């Protein structure tokens, strides 16, 4: 290989290194340096960024096919459970959107006048509450076990990583509470739209940061068989309640459409959008979250027999 073959010798960039870090650790260990070297020889254009992100997704989804490496069962369980937790957070955001867009008087009055709307709305709330309880019951014992291990081993970095989801959740609660204390604004006013968009962006940032930190923390601990079983069953149950919530939410939408079709022509959607557009958007987000959670559940169930 001649010196000319060395490419343009661009400076290593954080963006390129960040893109490579999107790949699974097992893949990076084998091909990470080579990919970074090749990325450094060319300009970072949008097609290159998109292609690299697609490659990272592909490597996560088909690690064995692209590297020959088989993940150990504990790693599959923690990755799948973390994926379900992230999907649940996005699903919760969509559920909050549905609750917010149906809190006004016409919807509460429709619930009082029509049994079908009332029953489906009540079921929607009950299923979401059950889903939340399952996620909390799955996360807290495992997080507790991880924290105990970090303290025993004096692994302060691990402890810091485990603290990120707690801090992120606290920040979302505090900011949401502060936003709720602000004086009432017109629903479709610019200020309300900005506050709602900022809150949604904050929640998504908190979810992604928590997922990254939580996954990194879980990689530093050795979870026992009971923790892995708990994550498996809680993850599968959470995904099942999300699927059920989607069905019940769809039934609620249908009930409103059948009994109170005029509500569908109202302009009381979120972020100054008409209601139908808001509901289609929320439906797309919820379906995507459920699809991701169900796929992760299939992986959990695939390794369940090997764990028992």
Q: Which stretch binds another protein (CB under 8 A): 2-10, 166-174, 200-208, 230-238?
A: 2-10
Residue 51 CB, nearest approach to another protein (Å): 4
Contacts of 75 (CB under 8 A, 6+ apart): 219
Tokens of 236: 């599968």
Return d(Cα 215, Cα 286) in angstroms, integer: 23
Q: What is the DSSP string of 4-36?
A: GGGTT-PPP-HHHHHHHHTS-HHHIIIIIHHHH
Here's the x/- map for another protein, 72-111, by CB under 8 A: it reads as ----------------------------------------
Asked if 51 touches another protein (CB under 8 A), the answer is yes
Residue 14 CB, nearest approach to another protein (Å): 17
Q: Which CB sits closer to another protein, 39 or 203?
A: 39
Asked if 9 touches another protein (CB under 8 A), the answer is no
Q: How many residues bind another protein (CB under 8 A)?
A: 30
Give the residue among 182, 219, 175, 180 at the shortest CA–CA distance from 198. 175
Asked if 25 touches another protein (CB under 8 A), the answer is no
Selected binder of another protein within 10, 11, 29, 34 (CB under 8 A)? 34
Q: Which CB sits closer to another protein, 20 or 230?
A: 20
Within 114-187, where are the H helices? 115-153, 156-181
Return d(Cα 51, Cα 117) in angstroms, integer: 46
Asked if 48 touches another protein (CB under 8 A), the answer is yes
Asked if 52 touches another protein (CB under 8 A), the answer is yes
With tokens 């059950």, the residue in question is 130
Asked if 36 touches another protein (CB under 8 A), the answer is yes
């Amino acid at each position: 290989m001649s010196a000319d073959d060395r490419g343009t010798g661009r400076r290593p960039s954080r963006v390129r290194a960040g893109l490579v870090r999107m790949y699974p650790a097992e893949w990076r260990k084998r091909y990470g340096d080579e990919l970074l070297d090749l990325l450094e020889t060319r300009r970072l254009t949008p097609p290159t960024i998109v292609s690299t992100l697609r490659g990272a997704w592909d490597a996560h989804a088909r690690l064995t096919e692209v590297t020959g490496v088989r993940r150990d069962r504990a790693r599959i369980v923690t990755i799948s459970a973390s994926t379900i937790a992230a999907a649940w957070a996005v699903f919760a955001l969509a559920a909050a959107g549905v609750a917010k867009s149906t809190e006004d008087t016409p919807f509460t009055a429709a619930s009082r006048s029509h049994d079908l709307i009332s029953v489906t709305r009540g079921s929607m709330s009950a299923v979401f509450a059950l889903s939340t309880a399952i996620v909390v019951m799955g996360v807290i014992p495992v997080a507790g076990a991880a924290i105990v291990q970090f303290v025993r081993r004096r692994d302060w970095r691990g402890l810091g990583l485990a603290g990120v989801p707690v801090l992120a959740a606290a920040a979302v609660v505090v900011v949401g509470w502060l936003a709720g204390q602000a004086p009432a604004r017109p629903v479709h006013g610019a200020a309300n739209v900005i506050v709602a968009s900022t809150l949604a962006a904050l929640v998504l940032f908190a979810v992604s940061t928590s997922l990254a930190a939580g996954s990194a923390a879980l990689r530093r601990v050795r979870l026992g068989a009971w923790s892995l079983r708990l994550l498996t069953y809680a993850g599968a149950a959470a995904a099942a309640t999300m699927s059920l919530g989607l069905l019940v939410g769809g039934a609620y939408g249908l009930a409103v459409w059948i009994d109170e079709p005029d509500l569908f022509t109202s302009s009381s959607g979120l972020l100054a959008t008409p209601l139908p557009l808001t509901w289609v958007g929320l439906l797309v987000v919820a379906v995507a979250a459920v699809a991701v959670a169900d796929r992760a559940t299939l992986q959990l169930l695939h390794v369940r027999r090997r764990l028992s």
